Every structure is written in structure tokens, then in C-alpha cells.
Amino acid sequence: MLIDLVGKSALVTGSTQGIGAAIAAGLARAGARVSVNGRTKDSVESALERLRATDPEADLVAAPGDITTDDGLEQVLTALPRTDILVNNLGIFGAVPALDISDAEWRRYFEVNVLAAVRTTRAYLPGMKERGWGRIQNIASDSAVVVPAEMIHYGMSKTALLSVSRGFAKEAAGTGVTVNSVIAGPTHTGGVEDFVYELVDRSLAWDEAQREFMRLHRPQSLIQRLIEPEEIANMVVYLSSPLASATTGGAVRVDGGYVDSILP
């Protein structure tokens, strides 16, 4: 299957590291001109250096700005007035006992994980509809369906994101624009190795350690290992392409079978 995004522009929010950086790299390999976003100019420039070191031919541009603020979003829109592909990857998470989550934290999780995606979609979707082509993807989580007891505010925000995706897909009906959410499962991102080794024997090699972690602490996983960011990026690149023209309004799982369901 040949995925060709030559001539397409893309914006990946929160793409200076982790899943976002992998998505940016994947879209660039498929030929898209990719705008890398982070809160500061320095973080974005550092990310561009790392991405270009891996793929010197990648067409990457800087789009710094904190999209959770009016000024930050305006900064991004000035750098990138239009885009063909929008990947709302920005998100925060953290473990807090349910009864200890403050009103401020509930609001912060909603504003960062949900409202930021709504605002960028509201900014870019009209242009996509006018041009008759576009792709919007919201990076959700298995926590949207299997809400973790230790971070229900995070689960709430990702559940809301599924609803947002379906709603905007209806807004884009019949226009050539598709809107989907991608449900990412337990993923091997920065800091997770330390987290794993806090729970399993540090003498184990990484491959064995992560499998032990999954067996003991994430037994629902059918692949019995952490997902690599590139594996999530592969799905995003496909959904960003003309080949996925009939997939919209969906919640597509890249969760290693973590969610115990026969439905997508």
C-alpha cells in the first residue's frame, strides 16, 4: 500500500516528543509538509533538529505556540493559516486519587485535552470544507473506554474527545473532509521505562521487563507489550491519506487489544 501525501500540509499539535513527534515523522516520510508544534520556540527547534537528523529530506516547519491560549493559537494560525491535515495530539495526564482532584484540575484537563482540539478544529475545518478535502484526527486513549481509577479526570477528557470527533464528523458530512479519533493504548513514551522498572525487577532486560509489566499490571493487552509510538503514527498516516476516504466519525483503536470489545 503506497501512501502519498506529497502536496499536502499537516499540523501536529504537541509534536515535540513522544507520539506527536512520531506522527510528524511519519507524515513527513509520506511526503507531507509538516508543521511541528510546541509551547515554545526552543522546544520546537530542538524537535526539528532531532527529526531532521533521522530524516534529512523531511519537509518540516516550526509552528510554536501554546494552543490552549488565545495568543498561542493566534501565533500558530499566523504561521500556518491553512492546513490539509490536522492531528490534535496535545494532551496531559497524571495520577490523582479521585476525591483529591480539584475543580481547577478538572477544568485544566478539559481545556487542554478537549477544548484545545475544539479550537483548532474550529479554526481549520471551514477552510477544509471550502476546498473539499481534509483530514482531522484527535488522539484519544484506551482510558476513554477503560477509565483508570487513578486518573478519572484524564479518562473523562478522552471520552469527551470521542464525542467531539463524532460531532465534527457530522459537521463535515458530504464535504470530502473526514474526522476521526485514534484510541491509543499503553505506549512506550518518555519516562515510561523508569515507571515500568519501579514495578518490576530492575535486573530484567527491557523486552522482558515490559512484558512482565504488562502481564502483572496491564493484563488486558493482547500483544502483551507496550505499543511503540511509530505504531500509532502508522494508523494516523493512513487515516490522513486519500486511501481512508470512507473512514469518518470513527474511533479507531491502536491499543494492542487492550480494550476488551469486539467493536472498534
The pLDDT tens digits for 97-125 are 999 999 999 999 999 999 999 999 999 99
78 — phi, psi (to 5°)?
Answer: -70, -40
Q: What is the model's pLDDT at position 111?
A: 98
Distance CA 73, CA 85 (A): 17
pLDDT at 59 over 90: yes
Nearest Cα residue to 102 out of 156, 146, 160, 153: 153
pLDDT tens digits, 149-187: 989 999 999 999 999 999 999 999 999 999 999 999 999
pLDDT at 12 over 90: yes
Percent of the chain at pLDDT exceeding 90: 93
**Spatial strand order in the sheet of 177-184:** 60-62, 33-36, 9-12, 85-88, 134-141, 177-184, 251-254
Confidence tier at 250 by pLDDT (50, 70, 90): very high
Mean pLDDT score of the chain:
96
pLDDT at 198 over 90: no
Question: Quick one: average pLDDT of 87-100?
Answer: 95
Distance CA 174, CA 32 (A): 24
Active site residue 109: no
pLDDT at 263 over 90: no
Q: Which of 109, 124, 154, 258 is catalytic?
A: 154
Distance CA 120, CA 82 (A): 11
Q: What is the model's pLDDT at position 195?
A: 83
Confidence tier at 82 by pLDDT (50, 70, 90): very high
Grid coordinates standing for 54?
Answer: 533521522
Question: Taking each helix axis from N to C terminus, what angle separates 116-131 and 152-171, rounded to the nearest 10 degrees?
Answer: 20
Confidence tier at 190 by pLDDT (50, 70, 90): confident
Distance CA 258, CA 66 (A): 32
